[in-house]
Amino acid sequence: MRFVAARPGTCAAAGAVFLVACGGEGGQRTAGPLAFPPPPTAAPTVSADDFVGAEACSGCHSEQYRAWAGSTHGRAGGSPERSTVIAPFDGSPIRFADAVVIPRQRAGRYEFVVRQDHFAEEVWSVDGVIGRAHMLGGGTQGFLTRMADGTERFLPWDWSGTGHTWFCNTGTRLDRGWVPIEQTMRLADCGDWPPLRPVGTVDRFANCQECHGSQIQLRLDPEAGGYRTKYTTLQVNCESCHGPARAHVAWAEGGAADQQDISLSSLAYLDKDSSLALCFRCHALKDVVREGYLPGEPLERYYALKFPVLGDQPYFADGRVRSFAYQANHLASACYLQGPMDCVSCHEPHGQGYWDTDRRPLDGPYADGQCTSCHPSKRVDVERHTFHAPDSEGSRCVSCHMPYLQHPEVGPRIRFARSDHTIAVPRPMFDADLGIEGACVQCHEDRTPLELESQARAWWGALRPHRPLVEGQIAELRARNATEAAELLLRPEETDPLIQFQAMARLLTGYLAPDAPDLAPVVRERLTALTGSPDLDVRALALASLHWISGRDPQVRRGLVDALQQADDDLALRGRWVLALGFLGDLHRDRSDPDRSEAAYRKALELEPSDPKLLGALALLRSRTADYGEAARLFRQSLAGDPNQPLTWVNLGIALVGTGDLAGAAEAYERALALNPRDALALFNLGNLRQRAGDLPAAEEAYRRAVEADRGLGRAHFELARVLILQERPDEALTHARRAVEFMPDHAPSRQMLQDLERALNP
């Protein structure tokens, strides 16, 4: 689970919802902290039946439909056929050290044949195509397969249209990023083998959420015997942006021309933040606040765009991509912060062509009109500004200010560079210090960063200084305590929401402690001021930080309560607030600090007293500290709120084993399997119970079902091999010992078992 202003020396927090007492905790204590208002309930207002698909739009909006149909959105994916598949399914083998994978067409179907040493041949069908290698900085194509549990998962073999090679992601196994498949690699070096990432959003899985398709829904459905996956299309269709159109189509077909409510709002006149939010549904990293999003619902109730900064640090101090991200770093650009720029300032939304701010079409992504329509003085004497020949690449605006930058987490071997939407000023030395191959060095590889910096200063003089929040993050490395860090990282007077959130996250995770009585006033004062931020993510993180450090202080508590009571959208604000505190619980749990971890979860439960996920997280913490009785109580409390949690039933079973209640544990595992008969962890733990009771045939059956449900569960292969050996069937055990070593190469008992079996069977 991942849950996931006042100036120094003053007391008033301008724009915030409360005041902070100067000096210490202050104020008269009450018998107990003021209670937060109970969380509201809100049923979804949109259902899958409200969508009609893009074809329904084509009659009245034929021009826009034609533009969309030929666009990257209109050709983003679909069913596997000649028009969608660009990868070579011609029977040419993809060779690994221990396997050959053959992409082929057979009887009109696309499929991968896997021939792996020591194992039977397998055929994996291609049931969906994602992407068509459209991106200029490195395009790819991926493939979905339909699994027995109802999910549709990404197959591990992707095609690079730029590099014309098959590749896979080794991130979870070798940590080498995306690499071309070579004969020195094992099949299991691919982190997504066997397939594990589904389309759709369920917190049980690492996933790609709802972006690679339209109206994607993934949910546990016990009646279906697992999960149910639904979507309109694997294209990005009209309703992905405009919302559900069934009522609008009914209005249009009914001929009610005098009806004022056409049931669909125009997107042409959105302000810049609303316009950006529309594109950021897909073109931004997100953390899940609530599952079940469909276009037409308020996005902020379901996703928080800046919260991936907590823990993952996807951006550098100035907003450029540090690991892997999308275009949300547009929020760090001066063109957004000091001007009106949104995505459709440059990108025509239907055909994905380019235009200027007056909507005049441009030749393509490198046309200067994107910039000179706002900066007309720069086109008067181009060479005077660029110091390059007017018609050269070095005089293109985007060459210097929006260079293509390879995403570091991907690694250097598969091209995946994206145009830098921070629209930065070239800084050769600063870029080199960050490890960024900036604009200057991309063209002038023969010159050192110092030489390029000297040249830049000779041409343009002193480079523009960083914004205060960027400078603050750079200087924060020298901070000695929370006070110094807060002075550098908290700037309520600045309007730089992405960078401010990033700076606040540094302060929260690096310096702040729960219920700190001796914290300098400047920390609370500036956090209090930031509770008045117009940015929802910044406001929520400021409130969570105050709750963390001073949630027991009566005046602070009153302000926290007022913040919820005055919120425009309690669900969106409270969800983020809980997300931040839940993240702190996870962070300190993983840092082996159970006291702080529990403090964070308890504070989150003050806001959501019956939240099943929070109760489950607290129960899991108790299990880690071997307090199995309390863990079992909390797991049961979580399941009382939501009994449809297979993983929580499994965790309850594990806690009950810790208390010695083996019958109760078996019942818990069976409850998990009633929800999802293919839950591999429930089957594995049930097998452990059966093996412990000496019932080897029953243990064997449970382990077999576990490895059928999740081929990559190495420990289940190991235990299955063990019970087969105990039943004197070493030849059958050998296959599973090999699987155990395949997926757990560092597990010494598996290696020893395999060695012993091979020696015994092949003397």
Q: What is the per-residue pLDDT across 375-428, written as a single tens digit (0 to 9) for each?
A: 999 999 999 999 999 999 999 999 999 999 999 999 999 999 999 999 999 999
Instruction: Quote the pLDDT of residue 734.
Output: 98
Q: Residue 158 domain-assigned?
A: yes
Give yes or no for a contact between 206 and 196, defined as CB atoms under 8 angstroms apart: yes
Residue 251 lies in a domain: no
- Residue 11 corresponds to which amino acid? C
More confident residue, 622 or 262: 622
Which tokens is 464 given? 């523009």
Q: How does pLDDT run across 428-486, given as a tens digit for each residue?
A: 999 999 999 999 999 999 999 999 999 999 999 999 999 999 999 999 989 999 999 99
Is the Cα torsion angle 388, 394, 396, 398 positive or negative in sign?
negative
* pLDDT category of residue 70 using cuts at 50, 70 and 90: very high
Quote the CA–CA distance of 507 and 515 in Å, as a whole number: 15
The reported pLDDT for the residue numbered 253 is: 86
Name the band, by pLDDT with cuts 50, 70 and 90, for residue 260. Answer: low
Q: What is the pLDDT of residue 455?
A: 96
- Taking 70 as the threshold, does the pLDDT of residue 21 lie above it? no
CA angle 235, 238, 244 (to 5 degrees): 115
**How far is the CA of 488 from the CAs of 15, 106, 371, 474, 711, in angstroms?**
21, 62, 33, 9, 49
DSSP for 33-50, please give it.
Answer: PPPPPPPP----S--GGG
Q: Is residue 570 part of a domain?
A: no
What domain range includes position 126?
Answer: 75-230
Q: Quick one: pLDDT at residue 209?
A: 67
Average pLDDT, the chain: 93
What is d(CA 272, CA 339) in angstroms, rounded to the nearest whole number? Answer: 10
Q: Are 112 and 102 in contact (CB under 8 A)?
A: yes
**For the chain, what is the total number of helices (H) and then of strands (E)?**
29, 17
pLDDT digits (tens, 9 = 90+) for 612-667: 999 999 999 999 999 999 999 999 999 999 999 999 999 999 999 999 999 999 99
Task: Give the strand pairing for 152-154 and 140-146.
Answer: antiparallel
Nearest CA to 210 out of 100, 309, 130 is that of: 130
Least confident of 19-23, 147-151, 502-506, 607-611: 19-23
Cis amide bond preceding 612, omega within 30: no
Q: Specify the pLDDT at position 352.
A: 95
The mean per-residue pLDDT over the stretch 572-595 comes to: 97
- The conformational region for residue 175 under phi > 0 = left, psi -120 to 50 = alpha, else beta, is left
Taking only the tens place, the pLDDT of each residue in 549-560 is 999 999 999 999
Q: Which of the four pLDDT bands, split at 50, 70 and 90, describes residue 518?
A: confident
**Average pLDDT of span 6-22:** 33
Q: What percent of the chain is modeled with pLDDT above 70?
A: 95
The residue among 484, 500, 492 whose CA lies nearest residue 309 is: 500
Token readout for 512 is: 């702040």
Q: How many structural domains does the chain have?
A: 1
Q: Are 180 and 413 in contact (CB under 8 A)?
A: yes
Q: Is residue 502 part of a domain?
A: no
> What is the C-alpha separation between 711 and 713, in angstroms, rounded?
6
116 assigned to some structural domain: yes
CB 665 within 8 A of CB 649: no
- Residue 91 identity (one-letter amino acid): G
pLDDT of 325 above 50: yes
| Arithmetic mean of pLDDT, 518-527 | 94
Question: Does residue 428 belong to any structural domain of this protein?
Answer: no
pLDDT digits (tens, 9 = 90+) for 104-122: 999 999 999 999 999 999 9
- Note the pLDDT of residue 231: 96
Asked if the structure places residue 733 within a domain, the reply is no
Q: Helix or strand or coil: residue 581?
A: helix
